[in-house]
Structure 1
Amino acid sequence: MFEYVKAWYERKFSDPHSVTLLFLLLASVALLYFFGSLIVPVLVALVIAYLLDWPVVHLERFGVKRFGATVIVMLIFISIMLTLILVIGPVLWKQTSNLVQETPHMLEQGKSYLIALPERYPSLINIEQVQAIVATVEDKIIEFGQVVLSFSLTSLKDVVAWLIYLVLVPLLVFFMLKDKLELTGSAAKLIPQQRRLILQVWNEMNQQIMNYIRGKVFEILIVGGVSFIAFTVLDLRYAALLGVLVGFSVLIPFIGAALVTIPVAAVALFQFGLETQFWTILIIYGIIQALDGNVLVPLLFSEAVDLNPVFIIVAVLFFGGLWGFWGVFFAIPLASLVKALINAWSSTHEEITKELAE
């Protein structure tokens, strides 16, 4: 057994480039795990910088200097964010407040509906089963309310931190865009000379991460916008709030669409009952999800690495549990990174074998 492990180690890590890649990977994971909460503004700024680098590069191709292109793009980005906050923010806040106020009434209606089920379908369900379901749901609602209350109380102390982030993040994004070449050059100086595999992984992942972030933003806007329009046309209440939820649900592959179905179906059920309008909303929502998965995603992520759905779900669960929201957001790129690392080390073994044979 020891000889087998020794042979595996020598085969995989006899190349100094492999060792450099391994140490860089371990250092990065340790930095994110132990200091991830402290460098969140840097990570947020890095994501936004990746997103905005594309228009900056295109402006440079039209002859605009890097500094001027960065200023133009930053002004447009900040204007769009302020417009969204000032225009859409109050609407979402009002709809959320109304939904929270009506939730107890909706729950009572749902409870009455469940209690009436044994009378309608005595052969399928009995009163004891209904009472057990109602008790379980009430317990879960109480637990959820306690979690929300504790989160709101603990988040009050973070208000100042968020205000600081609102200033620091745009500044970080600006300098990351303006000084991109200088920053990447400085980072390259910190990496040892044995960097062949690091560059191989970087070249494989760099464009993919950029395409993924840009594609996700477009997917959120398209799916959320189409859902809002559909809900508005169908006269569904809280259309803006539900549209936002549907848009952000695409951040969690497969699972997000299933989870956001619950509030959409609940609002439609309590507004229209089991009438034609309710089923129409569910059918339209299903069509949107089907078009997203089968048309929009292939168009936006045509350059993404082909990953099996099982690997994607495992990546969402693992990285989401490890790093929360950002772990979920980057689940697919991180899974692709793992694949790129495996390819790099596998290619190293093949190259070494070929060199020894020669």
Structure 2
Amino acid sequence: MENRPGLTRAQVLLIYLVFTAAIATGLALFSSASNLISLLQRASSGLFLPILLSLILTFLLEPVVQFIEREEISRTFAIFVVYVLVAMLLFLFVAWIAPHWETMWLALRADLPRYITRAVGLIRDWQDNLQSHFPVVETFDLSTKTRLWGEAILATILAGTPKSALRIGSLMVLVPLFSFFFLKDGNRLMRSFISLAPNRHFEMALDLYYYISRQMAHFIRGRILEAVIIGVVVMVGLSFTDIRYAPLLGIFAGVSNLVPYIGPVVGMIPGILIAMVDLGFGGQFWWIVIVYILISQVIVDNFILIPILISRVSNLHPLVVILAIIMGGKLYGVLGMIIGVPVASILKIAILEIHHYRRTFSIGEAAGLSKRR
């Protein structure tokens, strides 16, 4: 057999230079990509919330825009008419509530330390009673934990009020601007994006866009309407008593109700705490408990609103809902807990549609092969 000559020094040097250049190029590309990703994250860090609120506002206003558009007018003018109507309603609402809101908010900030102190005292009495019957819980100081938790909430409210005002001002500019373009060009942009899909997957991508957008529209409108109704029910129910801050407590109950399972429990804590401190454990206190638990949650929400507005749209197992809430809370806090369920619903639709089309194409290909044979 003929012996093959080995690599020369020039070839070894060339291979070494090629490998070195490849590694250096890969490291440079990785570093550039990492820097680019970090730059994009910093540039878009403040846009997540405005875009999310703009999408929600788009889903809420889309039916009204379509209704006005039927009158043989352009879509841009229909959006302008809707914006004018919404602005007029907001102006009337703010003009009606602003004088009462400022006084109520300042009074609540002044009363909050008193409520926390009273709550700590009640919890300490309850803890002493519990420890006298169950000595095993003597090492758990619930009153101290409650006091620290209340002080942290108070500090957050006092420090976050100016920042919240500035952020709300920026949202009032960005959200209407983004929503206008979503309403005007959203469908056209999505169709242009879907047209980039290969011919084999074009129909699947189009169906996914249709089902997901329809699911999200029904879900968002249903959740917002549910929150508004729960807030109004709580506010009206509390107004029959002498409790203070009934409008604030109703708004808080409605907003917290957006978080499944956990939100309703959190939403009733401030009202029950204020009732214990200001009203005692009399008839008005138990009426407030009935308003929160029996009327708003059991009768209105579970028996009326959820079967009509939510169940047919979400259609998720309770375990999946709980996991979506926990994972969303870990990633984005309270906002993640609110959007975790719709994101899980989107993933479910995507998985089912992709499985359906893969099965359809596999059946079609098998039938085509059998015909050729």
**TM-score bracket for the superposition, by shorter chain length:** 0.7 to 0.9
Q: Deviations over 1:152-180 (max 9, x none)?
A: 57x37x82x65344233223322332344
Equivalent residues of 2:194, 2:205 under 8 A apart: no
Q: Distance in 2 between matches of 1:71 and 1:47?
A: 18
Aligned match of 2:68: 59
Q: Distance in 2 between matches of 1:284 and 1:206?
A: 35
Judged with a 3 Å threshold, the aligned counterparts in structure 2 of structure 1 residues 168 and 207 are, in CA distance, closer, same or farther, namely same
Q: Distance in 1 between matches of 2:330 and 2:43?
A: 14
Aligned match of 1:206: 213
- CA shift, 1:233, in A, is 1.5
- Of structures 1 and 2, the larger Rg is shown by 2
Aligned match of 2:30: none
Question: Within the alignment, does 1:138 sit opposite 2:144 as a pair?
Answer: no
Question: What are the ranges of 5 or more consecutive residues in structure 2 without an aligned counterpart?
Answer: 1-39, 368-373
User: Greater CA deviation, 190-199 or 275-284?
Assistant: 190-199
Q: Distance in 1 between matches of 2:114 and 2:139?
A: 19
User: Greater CA deviation, 69-78 or 195-204?
Assistant: 195-204
Q: What SS does the aligned partner of 1:274 have?
A: coil
Give the counterpart letter for 1:299 in structure 2: I
Aligned match of 1:228: 235
- CA shift, 1:297, in A, is 1.9
Q: How does 1:311-350 map to 2 (within 5 A)?
A: 311-350=320-359
Q: Distance in 1 between matches of 2:363 and 2:214?
A: 30
User: Greater CA deviation, 184-193 or 240-249?
Assistant: 184-193
Q: Distance in 2 between matches of 1:181 and 1:140?
A: 46
Judged with a 3 Å threshold, the aligned counterparts in structure 2 of structure 1 residues 56 and 121 are, in CA distance, closer, same or farther, namely closer
Q: Distance in 2 between matches of 1:233 and 1:89?
A: 22
Number of aligned positions between the proteins:
325
Judged with a 3 Å threshold, the aligned counterparts in structure 2 of structure 1 residues 331 and 121 are, in CA distance, closer, same or farther, namely closer
- CA shift, 1:181, in A, is 4.6
Cα RMSD between the aligned structures? 3.2
Q: Distance in 2 between matches of 1:35 and 1:190?
A: 25
Greater relative CO (CA pairs within 8 A, separation 6+): 1
- CA shift, 1:34, in A, is 8.8
Q: Distance in 2 between matches of 1:353 and 1:190?
A: 23
Q: Percent identity?
A: 27
Q: What SS does the aligned partner of 2:141 have?
A: helix
TM-score computed with the length of structure 1 as normaliser: 0.78
Equivalent residues of 2:50, 2:175 under 8 A apart: yes
Q: Deviations over 1:119-169 (max 9, x none)?
A: 87885367x94992222222323343444455457x37x82x653442332
Question: Within the alignment, does 1:81 sit opposite 2:87 as a pair?
Answer: no
Give the counterpart letter for 2:327 in structure 1: F
Aligned match of 1:187: 193
- CA shift, 1:232, in A, is 0.7
Q: Distance in 1 between matches of 2:127 and 2:325?
A: 39
Give the counterpart letter for 1:276 in structure 2: G
Question: What are the ranges of 5 or more consecutive residues in structure 1 without an aligned counterpart?
Answer: 1-30
Q: Distance in 2 between matches of 1:208 and 1:32?
A: 29
- CA shift, 1:225, in A, is 1.2
The one of 236, 240, 255 equivalent to 1:248 is 255
Aligned match of 1:266: 273
TM-score computed with the length of structure 2 as normaliser: 0.76
Question: Within the alignment, does 1:173 sit opposite 2:179 as a pair?
Answer: yes
